[in-house]
Chain A
Amino acid sequence: MPALIQRMTDYVLGPNQDARLASVAAGATITGIVLSIDNDAPFVVTGRALRCSFLNSGTLNQNPLVGLKTRWTDAARNYRQTGGLGPRGSYVLESLQSAYYGQFGNPKPIVPAVIYPPGSVIELDLKHTGSTTIPNLTFYFRGYELYPEGSMPTPPYPKRMASLTFAYPIFVKALGVSELRQNNIFTVKQDADFVIRGGQSFVPFTTAGRTLAEVAVMWKDANKRPYSNDFIPLDVFFGYQSGTLATMPVSTATLIPPWGTGPGLPGLFYPEIYVPANQQFLFDLYRTDGSGGSNQSEDFTFNLIGGKVFSR
């Protein structure tokens, strides 16, 4: 078997891919939601997450996801789950499948991984048995694509090297309430290569009508080739130290707030991304909090965590 390049890839299935997901009413059943895999490479799914727009009722929350049941298929259109004693293809409650719905850099692992050939589709059906309309329901299929060796730049580790833990705090200045800010440049410093292995992000907040919660990112390599088919909220990709309790459906104090997420377990880039010294890694940011309330441009920071690699 020829050597293959694993390239981190996330496929997003949301309102931009199927408009029916923009608003899923209580009691609704939606079938035949299709996500097409690109024609250039097979895709290997290793994790999954889902999210809706935050509801802002004093505290940010994901309450509308309560009661959501789904089922989804592999490339041969075989369902990959069974609900209880039901037949293959039964709908399964999402809240019982993963912690935090796979958010906060904490995707639900899919083991063994599921491979989708180029041009194939993931088909998803859902039933919403909850009582609240789900706004902007979005599913994230996380994994990697496979490319032939030599088809794209893949800088290797030096044969003789030393490594040092390192993190780059990325400061974002005054991102507007509905701003799309494209091709932000992160340049690795000249002294060493940098391998990106994880990251953390800011704590979403809503205070006195001022909200910073809906910030999404699309990573790109130096050739501006994206790592996903659409934007992914920072709070799906990354975790943060606090706030998980308030944003989760069960907002009673029965959970340990930082369980399973936070700086001790950062959101991971897998496979890791190796950026040589003086080279660039790009990202687009898109904020959709809108102009309601007292919303305003906001500064924030996210953190790219990994290691410096020195040639010796």
Chain B
Amino acid sequence: MYRPQFAYPLSPEPCEDQRCTYSFDSTNTPGLSGTLAAAAQTGRIPLSLDLDADFYLRGISTQGPVSFRLTDPETNPLSDGENAAQSTNFELPTEYSNTNGAGIVALESGAGGVFAHGSANFLLYLYNPTASGIDLTTCVVNLHGIKVYRQRCE
């Protein structure tokens, strides 16, 4: 069960890293509302980050049965089969991100995590792999990581 993770260095003092969870759901993300029909896809849904600090993404957890693909603010996808059939290129949450609250899923990257400037947008694409509509108001995407307040280093 032991699973070593990448060790990320702490920022040198007086820089400050703050643990941060960005939680996106129907209350703050218009794209996560309504019903997604069976076998339907969405366009890109921006997940907007705060303006006050850069963010390093280090983990994810989600709720709900909808499949998805996430890209970083540079539009690098964080998963993709790149198959001809688009519907096969999304991650099933049961195999990728849904832990039922038992921890979070580490997204291991070099250089401290997946970098995003303050105010940048991760992009979310949804796909309904089931045979019935999915109420997107039940879906939640949590991005776990740290905010880096660089101005305190200056």
Residues of A within 8 A of B (CB): 99, 106, 109, 161-171, 189, 197, 200-203, 240-242, 256-260, 262-265, 268, 301-303, 305, 307
Contact = CB atoms under 8 A, between A and B. Distances in A.
A47 to B, nearest CB: 10
A169 B99 contact: no
A241 B109 contact: no
B88 A169 contact: yes
B76 A263 contact: no
B81 A171 contact: yes
A171 B88 CA distance: 6
Interface string B111-154: 10010000000000000000000000000000000000000000
Contacts of A162: 110-111
A303 B2 CA distance: 20
A189 B82 contact: yes
Interface residues of B, number: 39
Given A165-B107, A307-B109, A242 B100 contact: yes
B142 to A, nearest CB: 12
12 contacts: A200-B95, A202-B94, A258-B99, A262-B98, A263-B94, A263-B95, A263-B105, A264-B61, A301-B95, A302-B95, A303-B92, A303-B95
Contacts of B92: 169, 202, 301, 303
Contacts of A264: 61, 99, 102-106
Given A167-B96, A264-B106, A303-B95, 7 more contacts: A163-B109, A165-B108, A166-B77, A258-B100, A258-B102, A262-B100, A305-B96
A201 B95 CA distance: 6
Contacts of B99: 241, 258, 262-264
A92 B85 CA distance: 50
A106 B1 contact: yes
B91 A169 contact: yes
A112 to B, nearest CB: 14
B99 to A, nearest CB: 4
B93 interface: yes
Contacts of A307: 108-110
A262 B94 CA distance: 8
**Interface of chain B: mostly helix, strand, loop or mixed:** loop
A106 B114 CA distance: 27
Contacts of A302: 95
Given A197-B108, A264-B99, A99 B81 contact: no
Contacts of B83: 171
B79 A168 contact: yes
Which one of A171, A197, A241, A259 has the highest number of Cβ atoms from chain B below 10 Å of its Cβ? A241
Contacts of A166: 77-79
A301 B90 CA distance: 10
A305 B97 CA distance: 11
A109 B100 contact: no
A200 B103 CA distance: 16
Contacts of A257: 100
Contacts of B98: 241, 262-263
A143 B106 CA distance: 23
B97 A263 contact: yes
B87 to A, nearest CB: 9
A301 B77 CA distance: 18
A189 B77 CA distance: 12
Contacts of B96: 167, 169, 200, 263, 303, 305
Contacts of A161: 110
B103 to A, nearest CB: 4
A125 B100 CA distance: 39
Which one of A106, A197, A242, A305 has the highest number of Cβ atoms from chain B below 10 Å of its Cβ? A305
Contacts of A203: 94
Contacts of A241: 93-95, 98-100
Contacts of A303: 79, 91-92, 95-96
Contact of B79 (A106, A163, A167, A240): A167
Which one of B90, B109, B111 has the highest number of Cβ atoms from chain A below 10 Å of its Cβ? B109
